[in-house]
Amino acid sequence: MASTKYIFVTGGVVSSLGKGIISSSIGKLLQARGFKITIQKFDPYINIDPGTLNPYEHGECYVTADGMETDLDLGHYERFTGIRTTRHNTQTTGRIYKAVIDKERSGEYLGHTIQVVPHITDEIKRRIRYLGETAGYDFVITEIGGTIGDIESAPFLEAIRQMKWEMGCDAVCIHLTYVPYIKAADELKTKPTQHSVKELQANGIQPDILILRTEKHLDDHLRAKVAGFCNVDLECVIQSEDLPSIYEVPVNMQKQGLDAAIMRKMGIPVGETPQLGAWNRFLQMRREATETVNIGLVGKYDLQDAYKSISESLSHAATYNNRKIHITFINSERLEEDDAPSWDTLKNQDGLVICPGFGQRGIQGKIMAARYAREHDVPCFGICLGMQMMVIEFARDVLGYADADSTEMNPDTSHNVIDLMEEQKSVTQMGGTMRLGEYPCVIRPGSRAAEAYEGADNIRERHRHRYEFNNAYRKKYESAGMQCVGVNPDADLVEMVEIPQHKWYIGTQFHPEYSSTVLHPHPLFMSFIKASIKE
């Protein structure tokens, strides 16, 4: 294609309809046709990034390889398509306004009055176009966060309106809405969709394609009704029904011709429908698996999306190990309270994941879970803070340091087995002490970790943390049986620990879940699930 094409994905009626899954599915289908694609997320909140946002409200904070804290939808983009996102794939109102204000302060606008139009909208358009202009993508898919009608989204919609006007058929808008089912009347209602489209039209944008989220199948009569009221071709009214798995969505969208409709709207020859070979094989394996592996997530955020990448990584690995996955959240605070049902649940798991997080709440429960797994030889995977809790538990119960702790939790501990590096201690700015993004790690040959990585001794993994394993204690740990099998070669920081005598007891300072995809599950999750399967 001569120039980059742009696809805008907006949402209406209610939030949480799955714009990220739809955007990812579109990307997957266009990849199957041989196109080079990328996906970006524009969020309307004023925070610079989601790094300080409450997981209960926004779910997981995902991290790109270049160290940008992002919305969890970027995890979907990478898992579905295998692309590697960067800081340019995520934007917020806060970043955009800050960039404009910084330019104004440095005199770039030559004394002009700074306004939403054109200055903010021009900055939005520049950031939408950036990836297409610098990396030569055939398609840039841009998901707009929030819901049509939100005041925060207005500048993004104006930018989209301008781009559609400027680019003609090189830009299309896909609008995702909700068709509710009224049980008492036994009817599906299209009025919310009609109002959502009117709201979009009031902003000067005519949607090219509508995707209707629904719990009930929509017949052709209802689709025709929507097409007529919303000025959209019937073939461009697609339904997105509830499915057993989010990974069924690309196949469902392809069956209804979503990718073909996009190409026709853009004047691109449609050609034959491509086969999703490897993807369909993955789905077939999921359907054929009959036995279940039970994994407990020990954490403090009792919210499905708070550990989204971990759950999906476990799901991928279970599929490739010919198992269904049953994941149970175990609240670490309940373990601290000696809650009998929580302990019974923990003891009935085939494997345990000690989850990442920040802050002191719930950490004693994580330490108790790590101790139970170590003493009862239960496969256990500690991630980031989870690894640190494994290290603290080992210091207290094996090395005999009763007050061993992290200085994040107890600055006055006499055995600071987890601590800040010296150069971090003078940094006071929020986020300034964080180690973010991808770093190298050298793995000890012959270790369980090296076996999981199939003998690879140099890897790169993504991080999101402040505190580190204290190297002053490394020899004592190793002599007592906990081996430091992964080390950052540049800073000599411990990245992985394991107990070789255990069935599977590994902790990682990094977040392997960020780089697990549908077609390439992460080797550590594959190894952990294999060890968790009962013989």
Residues with catalytic annotation? 384, 511, 513
In 58-190, at which residue ranges do the beta strands (DSSP E only) sit?
A: 62-63, 69-70, 90-92, 139-144, 171-178, 181-182, 187-188
Q: Which helix (H) or strand (E) holds 325?
A: strand 324-331
In 389-450, at which residue ranges do the beta strands (DSSP E only) sit?
A: 405-406, 416-419, 435-443
Cα separation, 396 vs 398, whole angstroms: 6
Cα separation, 28 vs 37, whole angstroms: 9
Task: With H, G, I as helix, E, B as strand and everything else as coil, classify residue 209.
Answer: strand
**Please, are residues 100 and 92 in contact by the beta-carbon 8 Å criterion?**
no
Cα separation, 128 vs 141, whole angstroms: 9
Which residues lie across from 174 on neighbouring strands? 9, 209
**What are the helix (H) ranges across 231-362?**
249-255, 258-265, 277-288, 308-320, 332-336, 340-347
Which one, of 136, 161, 138, lies nearest residue 148 by Cα?
161
In 371-427, at which residue ranges do the beta strands (DSSP E only) sit?
A: 380-383, 405-406, 416-419
For the purposes of burial, counting CB atoms within 10 Å of the CB of 533, is it exposed (0-12), middle (13-18) or buried (19 or more)? middle
Q: Which helix (H) or strand (E) holds 205?
A: none
Report which residue type is found at 502: H
Tell me how far CA of residue 183 lies from CA of 16, 187, 189, in angstroms. 21, 7, 11
**Please, are residues 502 and 372 in contact by the beta-carbon 8 Å criterion?**
no
What's the Rg (C-alpha) of the chain? 25
**Please, are residues 88 and 131 in contact by the beta-carbon 8 Å criterion?**
yes
- Dihedral of CA atoms 284, 286, 290, 296 in degrees, nearest 10, equals 170
Which residues lie across from 122 on neighbouring strands? none
Cα separation, 423 vs 433, whole angstroms: 9
* Number of residues that make up the chain: 535
Tokens of 401: 């340091």
